Chains A and B, each alone.
Chain A
Amino acid sequence: MDEMKKTPHVRRRPRFRAENERKRCVACGVCVKACPRGAVSVWRGCYAVVNDEKCIGCGLCVKACPAGVMHKVENE
Protein backbone atom coordinates (compact mmCIF):
# COMPACT_ATOMS: atom_id res chain seq x y z
CA MET A 1 0.00 0.00 0.00
CA ASP A 2 2.79 2.39 0.92
CA GLU A 3 4.61 1.65 -2.29
CA MET A 4 1.61 2.60 -4.36
CA LYS A 5 1.44 5.99 -2.70
CA LYS A 6 5.04 6.64 -3.60
CA THR A 7 4.38 6.27 -7.31
CA PRO A 8 1.36 8.49 -8.03
CA HIS A 9 2.35 9.48 -11.56
CA VAL A 10 2.06 6.15 -13.28
CA ARG A 11 -0.06 6.91 -16.33
CA ARG A 12 -2.57 4.33 -17.30
CA ARG A 13 -2.52 3.56 -20.97
CA PRO A 14 -5.62 5.02 -22.61
CA ARG A 15 -7.97 2.57 -24.25
CA PHE A 16 -8.01 4.39 -27.60
CA ARG A 17 -5.68 6.45 -29.70
CA ALA A 18 -5.94 8.43 -32.92
CA GLU A 19 -4.28 7.11 -36.03
CA ASN A 20 -3.82 8.95 -39.30
CA GLU A 21 -3.95 7.60 -42.84
CA ARG A 22 -0.83 9.46 -43.90
CA LYS A 23 -1.17 8.74 -47.60
CA ARG A 24 -4.58 10.42 -47.84
CA CYS A 25 -4.00 13.18 -45.28
CA VAL A 26 -4.27 16.66 -46.83
CA ALA A 27 -2.30 18.33 -44.01
CA CYS A 28 -4.87 21.07 -43.52
CA GLY A 29 -4.27 21.22 -39.76
CA VAL A 30 -7.89 21.00 -38.59
CA CYS A 31 -6.93 18.12 -36.26
CA VAL A 32 -4.14 20.21 -34.73
CA LYS A 33 -6.67 22.86 -33.75
CA ALA A 34 -9.21 20.29 -32.55
CA CYS A 35 -6.85 18.44 -30.19
CA PRO A 36 -7.24 19.61 -26.58
CA ARG A 37 -3.95 17.95 -25.59
CA GLY A 38 -1.69 19.35 -28.28
CA ALA A 39 -0.94 15.82 -29.40
CA VAL A 40 -1.30 16.35 -33.14
CA SER A 41 1.06 18.25 -35.42
CA VAL A 42 1.56 18.53 -39.15
CA TRP A 43 4.88 17.04 -40.21
CA ARG A 44 6.63 19.41 -42.65
CA GLY A 45 3.42 20.14 -44.53
CA CYS A 46 3.02 16.52 -45.59
CA TYR A 47 0.65 14.84 -43.12
CA ALA A 48 -0.55 14.97 -39.54
CA VAL A 49 1.27 12.92 -36.90
CA VAL A 50 -0.15 11.91 -33.54
CA ASN A 51 2.05 11.86 -30.47
CA ASP A 52 1.01 8.63 -28.73
CA GLU A 53 2.49 9.86 -25.45
CA LYS A 54 0.00 12.71 -25.34
CA CYS A 55 -3.02 11.24 -27.15
CA ILE A 56 -5.81 10.07 -24.88
CA GLY A 57 -8.02 8.76 -27.68
CA CYS A 58 -10.84 11.24 -27.14
CA GLY A 59 -11.69 11.22 -30.84
CA LEU A 60 -12.17 14.96 -31.28
CA CYS A 61 -9.73 15.04 -34.21
CA VAL A 62 -11.57 12.10 -35.77
CA LYS A 63 -14.82 14.05 -35.72
CA ALA A 64 -13.19 17.23 -37.00
CA CYS A 65 -11.12 15.81 -39.88
CA PRO A 66 -12.76 16.94 -43.14
CA ALA A 67 -11.01 14.23 -45.14
CA GLY A 68 -11.99 11.43 -42.77
CA VAL A 69 -8.44 10.13 -42.50
CA MET A 70 -8.18 10.26 -38.71
CA HIS A 71 -9.35 7.07 -37.03
CA LYS A 72 -9.98 6.09 -33.44
CA VAL A 73 -8.28 2.76 -32.88
CA GLU A 74 -8.08 0.60 -29.80
CA ASN A 75 -4.71 0.24 -28.08
CA GLU A 76 -3.49 -3.33 -27.93
Chain B
Amino acid sequence: MKQQRKKWSDYLWIVSATYFTLGFFNIVFAWLGVICFLIPLLMAIFGGTKGYCNNYCGRGQLFLLIGNTLKLSRRRLAPRWLSSRWFRNGFLVFFLFFFVQMVYITVLVAQGASSLSETIHLLWTFHVPWHWAYPVAVEPWRAQFAFGLYGIMLTSLIVGVLLTVFFRPRTWCVFCPMGNMTQMICKAKNKQYDGK
Protein backbone atom coordinates (compact mmCIF):
# COMPACT_ATOMS: atom_id res chain seq x y z
CA MET B 1 0.00 0.00 0.00
CA LYS B 2 1.21 3.46 -0.85
CA GLN B 3 2.02 5.45 2.26
CA GLN B 4 1.66 9.20 2.36
CA ARG B 5 5.00 10.95 2.58
CA LYS B 6 5.74 12.49 5.95
CA LYS B 7 6.00 16.25 6.21
CA TRP B 8 7.59 18.38 8.88
CA SER B 9 4.14 18.96 10.36
CA ASP B 10 3.78 15.24 11.05
CA TYR B 11 6.31 15.56 13.84
CA LEU B 12 4.52 18.21 15.89
CA TRP B 13 3.69 15.58 18.49
CA ILE B 14 7.27 16.14 19.67
CA VAL B 15 6.36 19.75 20.44
CA SER B 16 3.31 18.61 22.38
CA ALA B 17 5.29 16.00 24.34
CA THR B 18 7.99 18.60 25.09
CA TYR B 19 5.33 21.01 26.32
CA PHE B 20 4.02 18.55 28.89
CA THR B 21 7.52 17.59 29.99
CA LEU B 22 8.64 21.20 30.46
CA GLY B 23 5.48 22.04 32.39
CA PHE B 24 6.27 19.25 34.80
CA PHE B 25 9.56 20.89 35.75
CA ASN B 26 8.73 24.57 35.33
CA ILE B 27 5.13 25.70 35.24
CA VAL B 28 5.97 28.95 33.40
CA PHE B 29 6.29 26.94 30.17
CA ALA B 30 2.56 26.24 30.46
CA TRP B 31 2.04 29.74 29.02
CA LEU B 32 3.06 28.35 25.63
CA GLY B 33 -0.28 26.55 25.68
CA VAL B 34 -1.93 29.85 24.74
CA ILE B 35 -0.55 29.19 21.24
CA CYS B 36 -2.70 26.04 21.04
CA PHE B 37 -5.76 28.18 21.69
CA LEU B 38 -4.90 31.09 19.42
CA ILE B 39 -3.56 29.41 16.26
CA PRO B 40 -6.63 27.22 15.58
CA LEU B 41 -8.96 30.17 16.12
CA LEU B 42 -6.87 32.48 13.91
CA MET B 43 -6.68 29.81 11.18
CA ALA B 44 -10.45 29.42 11.31
CA ILE B 45 -11.24 33.15 11.46
CA PHE B 46 -8.82 34.26 8.74
CA GLY B 47 -8.32 31.10 6.71
CA GLY B 48 -11.78 29.57 7.10
CA THR B 49 -10.27 26.11 7.55
CA LYS B 50 -9.60 23.59 10.27
CA GLY B 51 -5.98 23.43 9.17
CA TYR B 52 -4.80 23.25 12.76
CA CYS B 53 -6.83 20.13 13.56
CA ASN B 54 -6.07 18.59 10.18
CA ASN B 55 -2.32 19.17 10.07
CA TYR B 56 -0.75 20.85 13.06
CA CYS B 57 -2.40 19.58 16.24
CA GLY B 58 0.43 17.94 18.18
CA ARG B 59 -1.96 16.47 20.71
CA GLY B 60 -3.96 14.74 17.99
CA GLN B 61 -0.73 13.34 16.57
CA LEU B 62 0.19 12.10 20.03
CA PHE B 63 -3.10 10.17 20.13
CA LEU B 64 -2.39 8.70 16.67
CA LEU B 65 1.07 7.72 17.85
CA ILE B 66 -0.30 5.95 20.91
CA GLY B 67 -3.14 4.29 19.04
CA ASN B 68 -1.62 3.49 15.64
CA THR B 69 2.16 3.34 16.00
CA LEU B 70 2.25 1.87 19.50
CA LYS B 71 -1.00 -0.03 18.84
CA LEU B 72 -2.37 0.80 22.28
CA SER B 73 -5.96 1.16 21.13
CA ARG B 74 -8.91 -1.20 21.15
CA ARG B 75 -10.13 0.53 17.96
CA ARG B 76 -13.76 0.24 18.96
CA LEU B 77 -16.13 2.89 17.79
CA ALA B 78 -17.12 5.29 20.55
CA PRO B 79 -20.82 5.70 21.41
CA ARG B 80 -22.60 7.80 18.84
CA TRP B 81 -23.88 10.36 21.32
CA LEU B 82 -20.28 11.49 21.88
CA SER B 83 -20.34 13.19 18.48
CA SER B 84 -23.89 14.49 18.79
CA ARG B 85 -24.46 18.20 18.59
CA TRP B 86 -25.84 18.56 22.11
CA PHE B 87 -22.93 16.74 23.69
CA ARG B 88 -20.31 18.66 21.70
CA ASN B 89 -21.90 22.01 22.51
CA GLY B 90 -22.56 21.01 26.10
CA PHE B 91 -18.93 20.07 26.54
CA LEU B 92 -17.87 23.36 24.96
CA VAL B 93 -19.94 25.29 27.52
CA PHE B 94 -18.51 23.11 30.31
CA PHE B 95 -14.99 23.76 29.05
CA LEU B 96 -15.54 27.51 28.69
CA PHE B 97 -16.92 27.67 32.22
CA PHE B 98 -13.67 26.24 33.60
CA PHE B 99 -11.63 28.47 31.31
CA VAL B 100 -13.40 31.60 32.55
CA GLN B 101 -13.05 30.38 36.13
CA MET B 102 -9.31 29.96 35.56
CA VAL B 103 -9.01 33.51 34.23
CA TYR B 104 -11.12 34.82 37.16
CA ILE B 105 -8.84 33.14 39.72
CA THR B 106 -5.84 34.66 37.93
CA VAL B 107 -7.42 38.12 38.25
CA LEU B 108 -8.10 37.54 41.96
CA VAL B 109 -4.47 36.56 42.53
CA ALA B 110 -3.27 39.59 40.54
CA GLN B 111 -5.41 41.87 42.73
CA GLY B 112 -4.13 40.22 45.86
CA ALA B 113 -7.62 39.10 46.82
CA SER B 114 -6.61 35.49 46.68
CA SER B 115 -3.34 33.71 47.29
CA LEU B 116 -1.52 31.59 44.75
CA SER B 117 -2.48 27.94 44.77
CA GLU B 118 0.44 25.79 43.70
CA THR B 119 -1.77 22.98 42.50
CA ILE B 120 -3.21 21.92 39.18
CA HIS B 121 -6.88 21.16 38.78
CA LEU B 122 -7.09 17.74 37.14
CA LEU B 123 -10.18 16.18 35.56
CA TRP B 124 -12.27 19.08 36.90
CA THR B 125 -12.12 17.48 40.35
CA PHE B 126 -8.70 16.89 41.87
CA HIS B 127 -6.31 19.55 43.11
CA VAL B 128 -2.94 17.93 42.59
CA PRO B 129 0.10 19.45 44.31
CA TRP B 130 2.53 20.82 41.72
CA HIS B 131 4.71 23.08 43.90
CA TRP B 132 8.04 21.72 42.60
CA ALA B 133 7.40 23.37 39.24
CA TYR B 134 7.07 26.86 40.71
CA PRO B 135 10.07 29.13 40.33
CA VAL B 136 10.03 31.93 42.90
CA ALA B 137 11.14 34.56 40.40
CA VAL B 138 7.74 34.74 38.72
CA GLU B 139 4.89 37.05 39.72
CA PRO B 140 2.11 35.09 41.47
CA TRP B 141 -0.62 35.85 38.91
CA ARG B 142 1.56 34.67 36.04
CA ALA B 143 2.21 31.43 37.91
CA GLN B 144 -1.51 31.08 38.75
CA PHE B 145 -2.50 31.34 35.09
CA ALA B 146 0.20 28.83 34.18
CA PHE B 147 -1.03 26.33 36.80
CA GLY B 148 -4.60 26.79 35.56
CA LEU B 149 -3.74 26.38 31.90
CA TYR B 150 -1.50 23.40 32.51
CA GLY B 151 -4.34 21.73 34.41
CA ILE B 152 -6.69 22.20 31.44
CA MET B 153 -4.08 20.90 29.00
CA LEU B 154 -3.16 17.90 31.12
CA THR B 155 -6.82 17.06 31.74
CA SER B 156 -7.54 16.95 28.01
CA LEU B 157 -4.42 14.86 27.47
CA ILE B 158 -5.49 12.31 30.08
CA VAL B 159 -9.07 12.11 28.78
CA GLY B 160 -7.78 11.93 25.21
CA VAL B 161 -5.33 9.13 25.95
CA LEU B 162 -8.01 7.12 27.79
CA LEU B 163 -10.44 7.57 24.89
CA THR B 164 -7.70 6.55 22.45
CA VAL B 165 -7.01 3.39 24.43
CA PHE B 166 -10.64 2.39 24.90
CA PHE B 167 -11.98 3.56 21.57
CA ARG B 168 -10.26 4.81 18.41
CA PRO B 169 -7.27 7.13 18.22
CA ARG B 170 -8.32 10.79 18.30
CA THR B 171 -11.75 10.08 19.74
CA TRP B 172 -11.12 13.23 21.82
CA CYS B 173 -11.29 15.25 18.58
CA VAL B 174 -14.95 14.27 18.23
CA PHE B 175 -15.92 16.67 21.03
CA CYS B 176 -12.74 18.72 21.45
CA PRO B 177 -13.88 22.25 22.38
CA MET B 178 -11.29 23.85 20.10
CA GLY B 179 -12.30 21.61 17.22
CA ASN B 180 -15.96 22.40 17.81
CA MET B 181 -15.33 26.15 18.00
CA THR B 182 -13.22 26.20 14.84
CA GLN B 183 -15.77 24.10 12.97
CA MET B 184 -18.53 26.50 14.04
CA ILE B 185 -16.50 29.43 12.74
CA CYS B 186 -15.78 27.60 9.47
CA LYS B 187 -19.44 26.68 8.99
CA ALA B 188 -20.53 30.27 9.64
CA LYS B 189 -17.87 31.61 7.28
CA ASN B 190 -18.56 29.17 4.47
CA LYS B 191 -22.35 29.18 4.60
CA GLN B 192 -22.48 31.10 1.33
CA TYR B 193 -20.66 28.35 -0.58
CA ASP B 194 -22.51 25.45 0.92
CA GLY B 195 -25.27 24.14 -1.29
CA LYS B 196 -26.45 21.53 1.21
Binding site for B on A (CB under 8 A): 22, 24, 26-30, 32-33, 36-38, 42, 44-46, 63-69
Contacts and interface: CB of A to CB of B under 8 A. Distances in A.
A45 B78 contact: no
Report, nearest first, the 4 A-B pairs whose CB atoms are least far apart: A45-B186, A29-B54, A45-B50, A28-B173
Contact of B50 (A22, A36, A42, A66): A42
B170 interface: yes
A28 B174 contact: yes
Contacts, number: 89
**Main SS at interface, chain A:** loop
A42 B83 contact: no
Interface stretch (B25-33, B122-130, B141-149, B187-195): B187-195
Interface residues of B, number: 43
Nearest to A62: B77
B111 interface: no
Interface string B162-196: 00000111110111100110110111011001101
B60 A28 contact: yes
Nearest to B78: A66
A22 B196 CA distance: 9
B53 A27 contact: yes
